[in-house]
Chains A and B, each alone.
Chain A
Amino acid sequence: MSGVEQVARRARELVRGEGVISDRARLRTYECDGLAHYRVVPALVVIPQDAEQLAGVVRACAEHRVPFVARGSGTGLSGGALPHAEGVLVVTSKLREVVEVRPEDQRAVVEPGVINLDVSRAAAPYGYYYAPDPSSQQICSIGGNLAENSGGAHCLKYGFTSHHVIGADFVTPQGDLVRLGGMAPDSPGYDLLGAVVGSEGTLGIATSVTVRLVRLPEEVRTLLVGFASTDAAGAAVSAIIAAGIVPAAIEMMDELAIAAAEEAVQCNYPDGAGAVLVIELDGPAAEVAAEYDAVERLCRENGAFEQRVATDAADRALIWKGRKSAFAAVGRVSPDYIVQDGVIPRTALPEVLAAIAALSESSGIRVANVFHAGDGNLHPLVLFDESVPGQGAAAEELSGAILDLCIAHGGSITGEHGVGVDKAKHMPRMYDDADLDTMQLVRCAFDPDGIANPGKVFPTPRLCGEVPGKHKGAHPLQDSGLAEIF
């Protein structure tokens, strides 16, 4: 019996009913995540009903050295949940219980398959919510958020997933169930939770997640501001930040992105705008009022030609509609598109946008820009038509060149979508061998056999047995001359 068959047998003992899938036709439903051009049919899919079962399946994988891949809602955009052909896909979609909401502690404990927005829904009656808000929050899971260290528009002020996940029960790739962090802050020892958040399922699987809840703000004001150009909008962003204001969100869309959104959802953004900003201020009413006056003035001084403000939920939703539908909207103006995710220091924005425009011009490939302007996280949407010979390759090349720009400006190849399979090859452009080797020391500690989501994040796996650069025998200080050198 093969390793996978052994795991399947064990899984059938553990998980009753429909939770173990080995039928080829049904396995196909899981062949990709949100990055649909990578497809691999897994050898087995297991959908455990509780943490015990999940741990049992991982233990079986460990015993037979069978690779496993965790999957939440499968909305990841870097192929993180892409299955392994000889491996097991462990799906958390039945682990959907909000275990506890503890407003007095400002905490909630949830199972990993719980949908992001459902945490906020459960906390709302107490006046609380879960702050990180990826645009996919109606469908993505907390486990996936933890694994990707997901961000969202409001992370500018409130921080990313790593700031809000304060504990997790976690199954290591060796099948051990460990508790990392918890209800109280600063648990003694290494911050393993800090290493696990953002590790893209390569260190194990979270079976329970403890999150921080944030008080719902007293007041929220959302501004929609029209500018002639992205440069003007960028200057307004810089002015706001320089004034010491940290809005809850500052999002920018350029002309092409606005046009696409307009066509898709008729969001009625300012006519003739070369760029719009969506700025949200939230907090105590008096604070918001003061900030609003300053933001309104700074936008005006930087060339805003139209400003609209929404103070109630319905108006706010209208403003956000255009921004939130942007990815889907470009699908209507272009048969194919790549969603890029890169980060630059915010002050490099004008320069980088000009460079992207130049690349677009010279290649004839259109780029629509949507981004989290406050923290320099770009989402250029590279538009192309696969049916036109050469366009796919040209788009791919342009998309890669954008990452080069990010790296050249001291930025990152991913701000929130993760490395996954898609960007593993780019990692050596950002980190040298020693950096990658050092990260993989952590991998070796958690997963010496390399069975947790293999092939993701790192371009070349490290063999865990070897300890490179190990020196034998200590020389006395005097011999090495160090005491004199310094």
Chain B
Amino acid sequence: MPTVVTPASTGDVAEVLRGGHTVVPTGRGTKLTWGMPVEPEVLLDLCAMDRVIDHQPGDLIVHVEAGAPLAAVQEVVGRAGQRLALDETVAGGTIGGVLATNASGPTRMHAGTARDLLIGVTVVRADGVVAKAGGRVVKNVAGYDLGKLMVGSFGTLAVITEAVFRLHPLPDVQRWVTVETDDPHALVQRVIHSQAVPWAVEVDGSTLSVLIGGRPDGVAARVAVVRDLIGGSVSDVAPAWWGRYPWKPGEIGLKVTCAISGLGEVLAAAGPRVRGSAGVGVVYAVADRAEDVHRLREVAARHGGTVVVVDAPDEVKQVVDVWGPVPALDLMRRVKEQFDPERRLSPGRFVGGI
């Protein structure tokens, strides 16, 4: 069993890392089972680092500690009519966890993913050195964008301790146009090429739901455009499944990506329990058996996409390739080698055994 250490500051994290142990950083642990299993000496619990350090509504930025729950950050910025445009795909997750796993939900179509919103980051390297990249302004091309490298790195490059994000205004109005269909692909194509500017186009099995947000007059007109194209009913609340993964604990949960034109084939191959951001070519599926993963991988690959086993029982992870084939793996290994030559940060959790 790992020793749980709960640092209160970036300096504390640095001190832990200088100790030379193998470390897995964690927030609320909502995605700790993602990736390949790791047994570290130290579980670095960042939950005590949960401050919203600074919120500047006029500049639409927020500076937070990595252990802050996403929901708590939303509450703070929400008071100024703003939001951090990241979805809480698993209830209770922290900023650090969202960044490290690059979790995304319906909002990505309108606002991008964590990489697009993160404008500054503080990390502690494996050798205990504290480093920053980016800053507090939205536009900044000084030096390498290390933040992007940290997003989705599953705690294998450095420990993220602080992050600065750009914010979005909360929309005045949101409407969901929802329809049952046996051809989601065709409807997706209709909507995304229209002038409706959908904020999200999500699929759940044979249900398609389109989110339109913005100012009241604009939203009404755009909703009318969408209804002309696909029919369906309009609601001011999201469908119950909106922004949640389709799997239950203990099941095999997959993230499947493809070029948008391949969506029809991918959905057909993924089976009935499929859900996600169809409008951008990212869906989540439940596999019944490990073998399904290989089959689906072939289909996705034909459309430039990939299949990653997001979550699954450890036995399953022993028999399937969780990450699938990864181009440029050698280069990734060299990056890892530079940042963490002794392989102390989440060793083995990531692609290619990184």
Tell me if B222 counts as interface (CB < 8 A to partner A).
yes
Q: A290-B217, A427-B143, A430-B135 are in contact. Are A469 and B169 (CB under 8 A)?
A: no
- Chain A binder among B11-19, B65-73, B87-95, B203-211: B11-19
* Cα of A432 to Cα of B122 in the assembled complex, Å: 12
**B341-354 interface code vs A (CB 8 A; 1 in, 0 out):** 11000000011100
The total of chain B residues at the interface (CB under 8 A) is: 111
| Contact assessment for A411 and B135 in the assembled complex, using a CB-CB cutoff below 8 Å | yes
Picked from B116, B123, B137, B192, the residue with its CB within 8 Å of the CB of A343 is: B137
Which residues of chain A from 199 to 254 have a CB within 8 Å of any chain B CB?
A: 199, 215, 217-218, 238, 241-242, 244-246
Bitwise interface map of A from 274 to 314 toward B, beta carbon under 8 Å scored 1, else 0? 00000000011111111100100000000000000000000
* Contact with A183, one of B7, B221, B303 (Cβ below 8 angstroms): B303
Q: Which residues of A contact B12 (CB under 8 A)?
A: 485-486
Residue interface mask B192-214, A partner, CB < 8 A = 1: 11011100000000000000001
Cβ–Cβ < 8 Å partners of A176 in chain B: 330-331
A435 touches B280 (CB 8 A): no
Q: Cβ of B350: which chain A residues have Cβ within 8 Å of it?
A: 189
Bound complex: CA A464 to CA B337 (Å): 11
Interface digits, B316-354 against A, CB 8 Å rule (1 contact, 0 not)? 000000011011111110110111011000000011100
Residues from chain A with a CB closer than 8 A to the CB of B290 are none
Q: Name the residue on A nearest B334 (C-beta).
A: A445
The answer to whether A185 touches B215, judged by C-beta atoms less than 8 angstroms apart, is no
Cβ of B130 < 8 Å from any Cβ of A? yes
Tell whether A415 pairs with B140 under 8 Å between CB atoms, given A186-B257, A287-B221.
yes
Interface stretch, picked from A85-93, A103-111, A327-335, A361-369, is: A103-111
A422→B304 CA distance, assembly (Å): 40
In the bound complex, CA of A438 to CA of B133 (Å): 9
From the candidates B21, B61, B144, B351, name the one contacting A442 in the complex (CB within 8 A): B144
In the complex, how many angstroms separate the beta carbon of A251 from the nearest chain B beta carbon?
13
B138 contact set on A, CB distance < 8 A: 375-376
Contacting residue for B331 out of A172, A294, A412, A485, CB 8 A: A172
Once the chains bind, are B323 and A189 in contact (CB under 8 Å)? yes
Contact with B along A340-378 (1 / 0, CB 8 A): 000111110000000000000000000000001001110
CA distance A475 to B216 in the complex (A): 62
B328 and A183 contact, CB distance less than 8 A: no
Would you call B328 and A192 a contact (CB within 8 A)?
yes
Q: For residue A216, which residue of chain B has the nearest CB? A: B195
B268 within 8 A of A: no
In the complex, the chain A residue whose C-beta lies closest to that of B307 is A188
Query: Interface with A: B24-32, B147-155, B227-235, which one?
Result: B147-155
One of B58, B141, B329, B330 near A416 (C-beta < 8 A): B141
Please state if A457 and B324 are interface contacts (CB–CB under 8 Å): no
Residue A187 interfacial (CB < 8 Å): yes
The contact sample of 5 A-B pairs, CB cut-off 8 A, is A155-B139, A172-B331, A191-B151, A410-B135, A470-B127
Name the contact of B130 in the complex, choosing from A149, A290, A434, A445 (C-beta under 8 A).
A434
B144 touches A198 (CB 8 A): yes
Instruction: Report how far A416 CA is from B140 CA in the complex, Å.
Output: 7
Contacts of B222 in A (CB 8 A): 284, 286-287
**With A103-B193, A179-B328 in contact, do A186 and B152 touch (Cβ < 8 Å)?**
yes
Residue among A102, A186, A215 making CB contact with B261, cutoff 8 Å: A102
Nearest to B325 among chain A residues (CB) is A188
A178 contact set on B, CB distance < 8 A: 327-328, 330-331
Q: Is the CB of B113 within 8 A of A469?
A: no
Over the window 147-177 of chain B, the binary record of Cβ atoms lying under 8 Å from chain A Cβ atoms (1 yes, 0 no) is 1110111000110000000000111100000
Total count of chain A residues near the partner, CB < 8 A: 108
Q: Which residues of A contact B41 (CB under 8 A)?
A: 474, 477
B255 within 8 A of A: yes
Is B145 engaged at the interface, CB distance under 8 Å to the other chain?
yes
Q: Answer yes or no: A399 CB below 8 A from chain B CBs.
A: no
Contacts A445-B335, A469-B128, A486-B6 given; indicate if A188 touches B324 (C-beta within 8 A): yes
Closest to A106 in B: B260
Task: Choose among B3, B21, B102, B145 the residue that contacts A162 (Cβ–Cβ < 8 A).
Answer: B145
**Residues from chain A with Cβ under 8 Å of B351 in the complex:** 188-190
Chain A, 374-388, contact with B by CB distance < 8 Å: what is the 0/1 string? 011100000000000
**Is A347 a contact of B139 with CB atoms below 8 Å?**
no
Given contacts A107-B259, A345-B59, contact A413 B142 (CB under 8 A): yes
A437 and B131 contacting across the interface, CB-CB below 8 Å:
yes
Which has the most chain B C-beta neighbours within 10 Å: A198, A246, A436?
Answer: A198
Q: Which residues of A contact B275 (CB under 8 A)?
A: none
Whether a CB of chain A sits under 8 angstroms from the CB of B55 is no
Residues of chain A lying within 8 A (CB to CB) of residue B33: none
**Could you tell me the distance between the alpha carbons of A475 and B20 in the complex, rounded to whole angstroms?**
7
Does A467 lie at the interface of the complex (its beta carbon under 8 Å from any beta carbon of B)? yes
Is A160 at the interface (CB under 8 A from chain B)? yes
Expressed in whole angstroms, the Cα–Cα distance for A245 and B169 within the complex equals: 8
Asked if A414 contacts B217 (CB within 8 A), the reply is no
> Among A103, A163, A180, A412, which residue has its beta carbon within 8 angstroms of that of B135?
A412
Nearest chain-B residue to A410 (Cβ)? B136
Q: Separation in Å of the A271 CB from the closest CB of chain B?
A: 31
Which B residue sits closest to A183, measured CB to CB? Answer: B304
Closest 9 CB pairs of A and B: A194-B148, A287-B218, A286-B221, A244-B169, A183-B304, A474-B20, A438-B131, A184-B305, A412-B140
0/1 interface trace, chain B 52-81, chain A, CB 8 Å (1 if under):
000011111100000000000000000001
CA distance A244 to B215 in the complex (A): 9
Does B332 lie within 8 Å of A192, measured CB to CB? yes
**Cβ distance B105 to chain A, nearest Cβ, rounded Å:** 13
Chain A nearest Cβ from B205, distance in angstroms: 21
The residue of chain A having its C-beta at the shortest distance from the C-beta of B258 within the complex is A184
Q: Does A151 contact B (CB under 8 A)?
A: yes
A8 within 8 A of B: no
Which residues 31-85 of A have a CB within 8 angstroms of B? none
Most buried by B among A194, A377, A444: A194
Q: How far is the CB of B59 from chain A (nearest CB, A)?
A: 4
B281 at the interface (CB under 8 A from A): yes
Q: Is A186's CB under 8 angstroms from B282's CB?
A: yes
Instruction: Provide the residues of chain B in CB contact with A102, threshold 8 Å.
Output: 259, 261
Contact between B61 and A345, CB atoms less than 8 A apart: yes
- Indicate if the CB atoms of A284 and B137 lie closer than 8 Å: no
CB of A344 within 8 A of CB of B131, answer no
Taking the closest CB of chain B, its distance from the CB of A8, in whole angstroms, is 28
